Amino acid sequence: MTKYLPDHLLNGYRAFLANRLPQERDRLRDLAEQGQHPKTMVIACCDSRAAPETLFDAAPGEIFVVRNVANLVPPYEPDGEYHATSAALEFALHALKVEHVVVLGHGGCGGIHAALSPSAEPLSPGDFIGKWMSLLDPVSKAVGANDHMTARERQAALERIAIRYSIANLRTFPTVEALVQEGKLSLHGAWVDIASGELWAMDPDTGDFQRPLAGE
Amino acid sequence: MTKYLPDHLLNGYRAFLANRLPQERDRLRDLAEQGQHPKTMVIACCDSRAAPETLFDAAPGEIFVVRNVANLVPPYEPDGEYHATSAALEFALHALKVEHVVVLGHGGCGGIHAALSPSAEPLSPGDFIGKWMSLLDPVSKAVGANDHMTARERQAALERIAIRYSIANLRTFPTVEALVQEGKLSLHGAWVDIASGELWAMDPDTGDFQRPLAGE
Amino acid sequence: MTKYLPDHLLNGYRAFLANRLPQERDRLRDLAEQGQHPKTMVIACCDSRAAPETLFDAAPGEIFVVRNVANLVPPYEPDGEYHATSAALEFALHALKVEHVVVLGHGGCGGIHAALSPSAEPLSPGDFIGKWMSLLDPVSKAVGANDHMTARERQAALERIAIRYSIANLRTFPTVEALVQEGKLSLHGAWVDIASGELWAMDPDTGDFQRPLAGE
Amino acid sequence: MTKYLPDHLLNGYRAFLANRLPQERDRLRDLAEQGQHPKTMVIACCDSRAAPETLFDAAPGEIFVVRNVANLVPPYEPDGEYHATSAALEFALHALKVEHVVVLGHGGCGGIHAALSPSAEPLSPGDFIGKWMSLLDPVSKAVGANDHMTARERQAALERIAIRYSIANLRTFPTVEALVQEGKLSLHGAWVDIASGELWAMDPDTGDFQRPLAGE
């Protein structure tokens, strides 16, 4: 029969069948029967180099993952419109009762780059990326206008600022704030350097990023 | 120092450092220097059991991934609102110039289950899931009302219908339709059974799902 | 002498004489002397690809088999008309005292296809197939009208629905219901995929079909 | 998981998977893709000892099989009632265009025995067997009343008479008669002795039964 998927995916699936599936078979059967019970939700970027399952060596069932461009969380807007990220957050908190939400950014993010190039042509007439990245307008202007930083420094700065802003937006959801106050939910920020695989985690008190395993 | 991330993620990251990173070091350095050039975009579900990187054994840089609840693509709406999925699609087509878009569904999807339980209480007052899954209203009613199918059969039917509907919605984006017509872009549907890891791929002519490796 | 049977049957009979008969000789002699005592009745389709003896590797004497188009059981109708299937059921329960009745369906059933094409021309002026398949009218309408399912999906759905409906009809026979209540009779549903030989069995509690040997 | 089928069928299915399926895989795939095209329809008895696939060593796709009690064909009755056997015949002739119809009887038939014991109690209040076997009333009375034959001789005689009567009933279907006249369809009678596996075929000119391979 015709093969209906790109060859590289079929080859990858063959490798999954040969190597990973035999190890995970019991786990997958249990997960199918009993449903998923992940403790952690990860909000990550669509970037092909920043899969949280790879970085955290996550097993099936371990993390509930939203991926959008630049791993953004919009502010709470119960306006009856379609909100992909808010819907996923609602599901994670109310149906799955996760204990952790992690916003995971990464170096060299194309969405952040677009947010710092506001005069650029829209990618298409619909300008969906322009609109989407305008979510960062409240925090990106100051960085974008800072001529004393190099382009690379502005990029790295906004990548971290955006993570902190998404976490602040998370707290505009009444349920998030309530669960955090009750000690039932923790919010985390993290950032990974693509070239080296180095992971940085946000200090929730100061907002600074540090290597969590430094000194091990 | 304090560890700012959940223990299970830090343990997973240690495993990544020990096992995966040494194998991927050169690849990651190249990907950081030259940027990502994935050939394929995957639109997948947030479900913790349905990571496309695991199923397709995908290497860093291989697939650009959106994940939202129930792997939905909304129809083209250039209305100036925030559209996470449309923004990612625009980025994949115009900036990355991917050649394939795959909509990947899975068995036991909680979002599809919610779409088939319209009378249920909203998960939260914002009812983000209710609104998000109402994207499927045009196709879910007929299935939901069929009392001769079991709950599981209605679920499995809507999981496939939703994939076809998302692919139809993809084609409402003028760029998608143009690229498909020019032979520069292929659209694919796939569905995975969590319990068995079995992958089914959509025949683009009929919409039917079949096992792409059957007979190997 | 003239051979009064089609060549392919005579050739098959020669193979039976050479291979199978020598193995079964004692069993056949016992079965002829002592009569048949099958524990299981199978209601199967006439389809040439769906012989229960082949699928279940059944020995002579093992299964009592009715075969009609689409493996249907009509509801109990003690109206004095000729009822081939009800007669066989009566014989199996009262004369043979079978302990199991299995309704065995299969993929790609031509009768089910006819039930989903009600506007098609009758095959002949007598329209026996049209009338016979109208037994499914109470359950086929909802599936037939669902334009969001592919033709193949509607077919697969009705194949399963019809099995459940036949089992429900079995229970309209007072003897069947009484024996089931006394724990002396079990009713089963099964479905086989022609292409792969994969067997699916019905969960009597939910009506869902699952692979009974999955995980062996 | 629970196994939803009788153990003897599951064990038989395991044997099918291990032995027969590997040999038939290509054939089954072709049969699923291209549909069935059997050249021959067999009308056989439900008896567990008389499976035509076993006797004729038939491969999947080779014979289209109706099985009812005593392998009877009722006369043509286009009365709008449900007729399982007539429906199958219509399908075989008009949809499958078979070239042969074989009525296959066997020794020790319980249905024929019931036809010869008309005063016996009905098996159940519905008396479906009594009604079904009354199809033979036009031909069974003379045999039943013949005190000069032993019970075993009466049984063997009616088994053959019933085959000839079913073939005569076949010719009451206008399509059957037309196809026979055009030389496109052949009608055959056969009878098998359970104890010995001996096959007898009907001479269409005289109605006598002979061993078709005698002298090989």
> B61-91 pLDDT, tens per residue?
999 999 999 999 999 998 878 889 999 999 9
Report the gap between the CA of A14 and the closest CA in chain B (Å): 8
Helix (H) or strand (E) holding B162: helix B151-170
Collect all residues with Cβ–Cβ distance below 8 Å to D184 and sequence separation of at least 6: D99
Q: Which pLDDT tens digit goes with each residue over A147-187?
A: 788 888 999 999 999 999 999 999 999 999 999 999 999 99
How would you classify residue C59: left for phi > 0, otherwise alpha for psi between -120 and 50, otherwise beta?
beta
Residues of C in contact with D107 (CB under 8 A): 32
What average pLDDT score do residues D75-89 get? 90
What average pLDDT score do residues C144-151 get? 89
User: Contact, D12 vs C102, CB < 8 A?
Assistant: no
Q: Which pLDDT tens digit goes with each residue over D109-122?
A: 999 999 998 777 89
pLDDT at A1 over 50: no
Instruction: From residue B209, give the alpha-carbon distance in Å to each of B97, B191, D34.
Output: 27, 8, 18
Tell me which residue has tokens 């549909």.
Answer: D35
What average pLDDT score do residues C86-104 get? 97
Q: What is the pLDDT of residue C2?
A: 54
Q: Check CB contact under 8 Å for D62 and C48.
A: yes
- Nearest chain C residue to D15 by CA: give it: C57
Q: Check CB contact under 8 Å for B126 and A190.
A: no
User: Contact, C180 vs C171, CB < 8 A?
Assistant: yes
Q: What is the pLDDT of residue D114?
A: 93
Instruction: From residue A121, give the alpha-carbon distance in Å to each of A158, B79, D43, D107, D110.
Output: 21, 18, 75, 87, 86
Instruction: From residue D120, give the alpha-carbon distance in Å to each of A14, C207, D70, D113.
Output: 65, 39, 18, 11
D139 contacts chain C (CB < 8 A): no
3-class DSSP assignment, residue A91: helix
DSSP character for B134?
A: G
Ordered by where they begin, the domains of chain B are 1-35 (no CATH), 36-210 (3.40.1050.10)
The pLDDT mean for chain D works out to 93
What average pLDDT score do residues D199-210 get? 94
More confident residue, C120 or A185: A185
Measured CA to CA, the distance from residue B92 to residue B95 in angstroms comes to 6
B154 contacts chain C (CB < 8 A): no
What average pLDDT score do residues D52-73 get? 97
Q: Which pLDDT tens digit goes with each residue over D133-191?
A: 999 999 988 788 787 888 889 999 999 999 999 999 999 999 999 999 999 999 999 99
Could you list the beta-strand ranges (E) of chain C. Answer: 40-45, 63-68, 100-106, 186-192, 199-202, 209-210
Instruction: From residue B197, give the alpha-carbon distance in Å to each of A29, B111, B209.
Output: 9, 20, 15
Least confident of A158-167, B23-32, D119-128: D119-128
DSSP per residue over B18-69, as a string?
IIIHHHHHHHHHHHHHH----SEEEEEE--TT--HHHHTTPPTTSEEEEEET
Measured CA to CA, the distance from residue B42 to residue B65 in angstroms comes to 5
Q: Check CB contact under 8 Å for C2 and D203.
A: yes
Helix (H) or strand (E) holding D101: strand D100-106
Q: What is the pLDDT of residue B1?
A: 43
Q: How far is CA A119 from the centre of its chain?
A: 26
Report the gap between the CA of A213 and the closest CA in chain B (Å): 8
User: Contact, B173 vs B91, CB < 8 A?
Assistant: no
Write the burial class of residue D81 (CB in 10 Å: 0-12 exposed, 13-18 middle, 19+ buried): middle
Is A106 annotated to bind a ligand? Reply is: yes
Q: What is the pLDDT of residue C1?
A: 43
Residues of B in contact with C208 (CB under 8 A): 150, 152-153
- Nearest chain B residue to C202 by CA: give it: B150
Measured CA to CA, the distance from residue B62 to residue B40 in angstroms comes to 7
pLDDT at C199 over 80: yes
Measured CA to CA, the distance from residue D169 to residue D101 in angstroms comes to 12
Report the gap between the CA of B159 and the closest CA in chain A (Å): 15
First-residue to last-residue Cα distance in chain A: 53
Neighbouring-strand partners of residue A41: A64, A101
Nearest CB neighbour to C142, from listed B146, B161, B196? B146
Collect all residues with Cβ–Cβ distance below 8 Å to C153 and sequence separation of at least 6: B157, B160, B208
Measured CA to CA, the distance from residue C134 to residue C117 in angstroms comes to 11
What average pLDDT score do residues C114-142 get? 90
Report the gap between the CA of B162 and the closest CA in chain A (Å): 16
pLDDT-derived band at B2, boundaries 50, 70, 90:
low
More confident residue, B126 or D51: D51
More confident residue, A80 or D92: D92
More confident residue, D157 or B215: D157
What average pLDDT score do residues D203-207 get? 92
C146 contacts chain D (CB < 8 A): no
pLDDT-derived band at D2, boundaries 50, 70, 90:
low
Measured CA to CA, the distance from residue C188 to residue C41 in angstroms comes to 10
C56 contacts chain D (CB < 8 A): yes
What average pLDDT score do residues B27-45 get? 96
Could you list the beta-strand ranges (E) of chain B. Answer: 40-45, 63-68, 100-106, 186-192, 199-202, 209-210
Residues of C in contact with B153 (CB under 8 A): 157, 160, 208
Instruction: From residue B180, give the alpha-carbon distance in Å to each of B101, B103, B185, B202.
Output: 11, 15, 5, 17
pLDDT at A2 over 60: no
Nearest CB neighbour to C63, from listed D48, D102, D204? D48
Q: Check CB contact under 8 Å for C142 and B164.
A: no
Quote the percentage of chain D above a pLDDT of 70: 97
B212 contacts chain A (CB < 8 A): yes
pLDDT at B190 over 60: yes
Measured CA to CA, the distance from residue A85 to residue A43 in angstroms comes to 9
3-class DSSP assignment, residue D97: coil
pLDDT at C205 over 90: yes
pLDDT-derived band at C90, boundaries 50, 70, 90:
very high
pLDDT at B119 over 80: no
Nearest CB neighbour to B149, from listed C150, C161, C214? C161
pLDDT at C215 over 80: no
Is A109 annotated to bind a ligand? Reply is: yes
Q: Which pLDDT tens digit goes with each residue over B131-189?
A: 999 999 999 988 888 889 999 999 999 999 999 999 999 999 999 999 999 999 999 99
The pLDDT mean for chain B works out to 94
Residue A170 identity:
L
C214 contacts chain B (CB < 8 A): yes
Chains with 3 or more CB pairs closer than 8 angstroms to A?
B
Q: What is the pLDDT of residue A81?
A: 81
Is A205 annotated to bind a ligand? Reply is: no
Q: What is the pLDDT of residue B213?
A: 87
What average pLDDT score do residues D48-53 get? 97
Report the gap between the CA of C113 and the closest CA in chain D (Å): 12
